[in-house]
Structure 1
Amino acid sequence: MDFYKHQMSVMKDLPGLREVTGNIPEEYHEAVNEKKKCRLYNRVFESDHYRKIRILYYDGGPNTQVFNSLLYPRYEHDLPVLGIDFLAFGKKKHLTVMDFQPLHDSHVVDFEPTLQSIKSNYPELGGKMSSKFYDETQFFSPELLFARFEDPSVVHEKLLPAFTEYLSYHIDMIKTNKPNPAIANQIYEKQREYDIYSAERDPATGMFAGMFGKEWADTFVYDHLFELSRH
């Protein structure tokens, strides 16, 4: 996928980037269901500025394609998590969710004006998220990019450039932010709250259970996607 390739190319320039996928059990690096012809790939990185960058690609053939990524700043940075979720169901049904997900109401950097400027260039991505799984008032900013669309041209003409700009801004923001060790415990707790909230509501758990089994899915989501057992 172009999104995966772009993110990997940008990440190469992150100071101290290293892959740490080997720190999780091998069965969670890749999962395959030959009968249903689906495959999941999971990679994890860290850098001097990010304590964790998780990239997941789910290939369900032409019926289901998923690109998901989360970028967690190190605890010394009072900055939002960058959350990315792009899904395609067949050729006509697309779902986009991307946001600088705030951990609290007063981050040290006021990132919303820049995001607002970027978002204004992509009105097709300015929809309102359903409350079926998530509450927009918790861990989402007003500059959330959300869209359901059928026109495949939107993917490369709007979504890809918006993704590029959001990702670049998050990286620029964290590189220029001065780390503050005094806030590490506070940010640790806020990121843990975010992980709990996300794991309990992630609709992908059901999809993974249907493809790879419930036990695998629960352990993968709670212990490896969000690492709740490690806190």
Structure 2
Amino acid sequence: FLVAALDQPLTSRSFFSSHWSAATASGRTSVSAAFHSVIPLVCSCCVCTSRFARAKRLRRRSQGGSEHSTKGFFDDWARWVEDDFVAKLDLVEESLPSEFARRIGTVPSSSKSADGSPEAIIESRVWSGQAPDAPVRRVRYVSVDAGPQLQAFNAVVYPAPSHGLQPVLGVDVLSFNSHKRQLFGVDWAPMLPESGHIEERIAPFVRSIYDDFEAFRSAPGGKVYGESPEFFSPYMFFSRPEGPEAISAGSELWRVFTRYFDAYREVLSDSPVVDEVCSAQAQERQDAYDAWHAERDPALKVFGNMFGEEWTE
């Protein structure tokens, strides 16, 4: 995931980078790239269906069995994305292949605490825009539940290229070792590195949020992506919060997350459709964004250890 990569090193080995990527690197297709090849599930009751599916998953968890007996720590974050973001847009949930929608792996013994779960569960959901003028191309979130060793939530929103060079929105929130280490990051990733582009497309809409919560910000590291990474804005909100209450629903960082997402939805909903030339440029820059992250992704080793190298590749 993004924020852990920005805060290297987390452990003696590389950990999560941005799984906002959906590209191929060195001829290998990443797990997130597979998400982009699936066929949308056309269903007039898609919102009700997705909520039913989510409730069913939570019931399975509460009943024990092969899943953890408690819900994932960031389930409230996932629920908000579905009910308060996706539901307000003209999106349809995609039917992922079962092997990518959910997988149960094993927490490596070297990372396992005495009271930790031996299982690691990764779940993914994807929605896509259907109308020709839909402002959003795709929304995806991934959650990882490895008991007290790791709880993680990542969501990314790709704008429709037909709406021009709009930024890509992403959030990561992670908890390690029973909340002893926590990371949070949310950003509107610019499609062009020029400051003028950022001041036009991003600053007017998130600067006030960024400033209002200054007391909760931390300076990210630059080990993985460098000091001036191409696809990060100066308004990326990064934090190393302490204690589970700091990343719970209703916390100050929760407010940052929801306000970044609400502002983004409003901007995209009001954005006009552009001509084919501008649309092609926007698609090209989103592809470059994916490729850039895929080349710098240190998450494969960790996912390989938890879920198997073949599945991860």
Higher relative contact order (CA 8 A, sep 6+): 2
Q: Which moved more, 1:3-12 or 1:31-40?
A: 31-40
Q: Which residue of 1 aligns with 2:87?
A: 12
Match of 1:226 in 2: none
Distance 2:169 2:230 in 1: 14
> In the alignment, is the contact (CA less than 8 A) between 2:166 and 2:201 conserved in 1?
no
The equivalent residue for 1:26 is 98
Alpha-carbon contact 1:80-1:102 (below 8 Å) kept: yes
Runs ≥4 residues deviating over 4 A: none
Task: Give the TM-score normalised by the residue count of structure 1.
Answer: 0.87
Change beyond 3 A, Cα 1:76–1:190: same
Bigger drift between 3-12 and 162-171 goes to: 3-12
Shift in alpha-carbon separation, 1:34–1:63, aligned structure 2, 3 A: closer
* 1:42 maps to which of 111, 121, 124: 124
Answer 1 or 2: which has greater strand percent. 1
1:85 aligns with 2:176: no
1:134 deviation in Å?
1.9
- The question of 1:146 aligning with 2:234 is answered no
- Gap runs ≥5 in structure 1: 219-231
Q: Report the secondary structure of 1:120's partner residue.
A: helix
The letter of the residue matching 2:294 is A
Q: Please list, as runs of the form range in 1=range in 2, the aligned pairs for 1:1-231 lying within 5 A after superposition.
A: 1-10=75-84, 11-15=86-90, 17-20=91-94, 22=95, 24-33=96-105, 36-47=118-129, 48-77=134-163, 78-89=165-176, 90-104=178-192, 105=194, 106=197, 109-135=200-226, 136-156=228-248, 157-182=251-276, 183-218=278-313
Contact 1:45 1:53 in 2 (8 A): yes
Whole-angstrom CA distance in 2 between matches of 1:174 and 1:138: 22
**How far 1:153 sits from its partner (Å)?**
2.8
TM-score (norm 2): 0.65
Q: Is the 8 A contact 2:241 2:247 kept in 1?
A: no
Number of residue pairs the alignment of both structures matches: 215
| C-alpha distance after superposition, 1:147-206 (max 9, x if no partner) | 113233322421111001000001000000001132111111100110011122233322
Structure 2, gaps ≥5 residues long? 1-74, 108-117
Q: Secondary structure at the match of 1:184?
A: helix
Distance in 1, matches of 2:81 and 2:128, equals 14
Identity %: 30
| Structure label with greater radius of gyration | 2
